[in-house]
């Protein structure tokens, strides 16, 4: 069942298309990772989905219908920048949330705050560190009973232990049927938590799919060249190689088929220490957002 449908969504700021016609179908109970370089349009997408800013075009449906007040009551959003009130204490925020949302559970909020190491409820938000503010915003969102969680960089500024806690919360929520859409620049975290991803670039979706499917059917053959200026032109005609990356003496070939044969080919050309490895989500991301390269052209990495 589809939880969230985004169709032809567009948002222009003057001549800038922050979101340039995106389509997404996000299944119920899925953890959906939204990736993209700075300025790709991720935050704008979140805001358009919730109607916080008016889209220039397109439709957003939740469970097949436009967002109703009841659906919004069942949706939690953690924006990229804190929406907490500086002058209010953590305790006052808990009270405020309790008054604002019927599904808010103050005990659950306290439990999560303690887990994140924010035990002192009397503290005003202005006295909290950046990471603690993020932790409070996340704890308040997760203390609501919702069907949809939209989290814009929810681990930003958190220490590794709290980052791990947020990921576990995301995974647990989804296991109970909540649909979670989150953005992050931490690709390893997205790889750990997300079932599906979309990569945005300049307002468009450049890659989308189930993480395991995106990894399937491609391998990387890695090898070490005898010298920095060693020519790999001999690989130019190897149609099995869809992309070559070279970083000094290290050569990485992205291959779609017969990785062992490609390794043999690279070995015959003089490469050593050859090994075939799986693609990581980071490889997939970089492949999607890097300038498109033609077969066997060489990308010199910095």
Comparison of 29 and 79: residue with beta carbon closer to ligand ATP: 79
Residue 125: CB minimum distance to ligand ATP, A:
22
Q: Which is nearer to ligand ATP, 9 or 18 (CB)?
A: 18
Taking CB under 6 A as the binding criterion, the range among 32-40, 129-137, 186-194, 291-299 that sits at the site for ligand ATP is 32-40
**Closer Cβ to ligand ATP, 16 or 239, answer by number:** 16
Binding ligand ATP by CB under 6 A: which of 3, 42, 263, 285? 42
E strands present in the chain: 2-13, 16-27, 31-35, 57-62, 65-66, 75-78, 148-152, 179-183, 196-201, 204-210, 219-224, 241-247, 250-255, 272-278, 298-300
| Sites for ligand ATP among residues 110-139 (CB under 6 A) | none
How far from the centroid of its chain's Cα atoms is residue 169's Cα? 16
Which listed range, 31-39, 115-123, 155-163, 241-249, lies at the site for ligand ATP (CB under 6 A)?
31-39
Q: Measured in whole angstroms, how far is the alpha carbon of residue 18 from the centre of its chain?
A: 17
Closest by Cα among 80, 88, 211 to 151: 80
Least distance from ligand ATP to the Cβ atom of residue 190, Å: 13
* Rounded Cα–Cα distance for residues 142 and 63 (Å): 21
Among 3, 18, 24, 140, the residue binding ligand ATP under the rule CB under 6 A is 18
CA distance 54 to 139: 28
Q: What mask, x for binding ligand ATP by CB under 6 A, covers residues 77 to 96? A: ---x----------------
**Whole-number Å distance between alpha carbons of 284 and 292:** 13
CB nearer to ligand ATP: pick between 164 and 202: 202
Handedness of CA 53, 58, 60, 66 (dihedral sign): positive
Among 27, 39, 106, 117, binds ligand ATP (CB under 6 A): 39
Number of C-beta neighbours around residue 230 at 10 A: 14
Q: Which of residues 205-234 bind ligand ATP (CB under 6 A)?
A: none
Q: Is 44 in the site for ligand ATP (CB under 6 A)?
A: yes
Q: Which one of 39-47, 126-134, 207-215, 239-247 is the stretch in contact with ligand ATP (CB under 6 A)?
A: 39-47
Is the separation of the CB atoms in 29 and 194 below 8 Å? no
Count Cα atoms within 13 angstroms, Cβ side, for 216.
5
Which chain residues interact with ligand ATP by CB under 6 A? 13, 16, 18, 36, 38-44, 80
């Amino acid at each position: 069942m589809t939880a969230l449908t985004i169709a032809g969504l567009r948002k222009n700021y003057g001549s800038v298309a922050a979101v340039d016609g995106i389509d997404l179908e996000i299944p119920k109970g899925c953890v959906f990772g939204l990736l993209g370089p700075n300025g790709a349009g991720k935050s704008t997408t979140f805001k358009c989905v919730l109607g916080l800013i008016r889209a220039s075009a397109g439709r957003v449906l939740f469970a097949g219908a436009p967002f109703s007040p009841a659906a919004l009551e069942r949706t939690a959003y953690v924006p990229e920048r804190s929406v907490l009130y500086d002058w209010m204490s953590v305790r006052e925020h808990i009270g405020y949330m309790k008054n604002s949302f019927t599904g808010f559970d103050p005990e659950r909020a306290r439990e999560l705050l303690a887990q994140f190491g924010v035990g002192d409820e009397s503290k005003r938000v202005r006295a909290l560190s950046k990471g603690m503010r993020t932790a409070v915003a996340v704890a308040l969102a997760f203390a609501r009973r919702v069907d949809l969680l939209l989290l814009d960089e929810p681990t930003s500024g958190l220490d590794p232990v709290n980052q791990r806690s947020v990921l576990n919360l995301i995974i647990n929520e989804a296991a109970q049927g909540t649909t979670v859409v989150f953005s992050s620049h931490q690709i390893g975290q997205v790889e750990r938590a997300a079932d599906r991803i979309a990569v945005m670039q300049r307002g468009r979706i450049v890659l989308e799919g189930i993480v395991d499917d995106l990894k399937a059917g491609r391998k990387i053959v890695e090898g070490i060249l005898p010298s920095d200026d060693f020519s790999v032109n001999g690989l130019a005609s190897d149609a099995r190689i869809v992309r070559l990356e070279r970083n000094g003496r290290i050569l990485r070939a992205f291959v779609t088929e017969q990785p062992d044969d490609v390794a043999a080919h690279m070995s015959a050309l003089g490469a050593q220490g050859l090994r075939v490895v799986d693609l990581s989500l980071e490889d997939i991301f970089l492949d999607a957002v890097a300038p498109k390269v033609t077969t066997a052209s060489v990308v010199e990495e910095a």
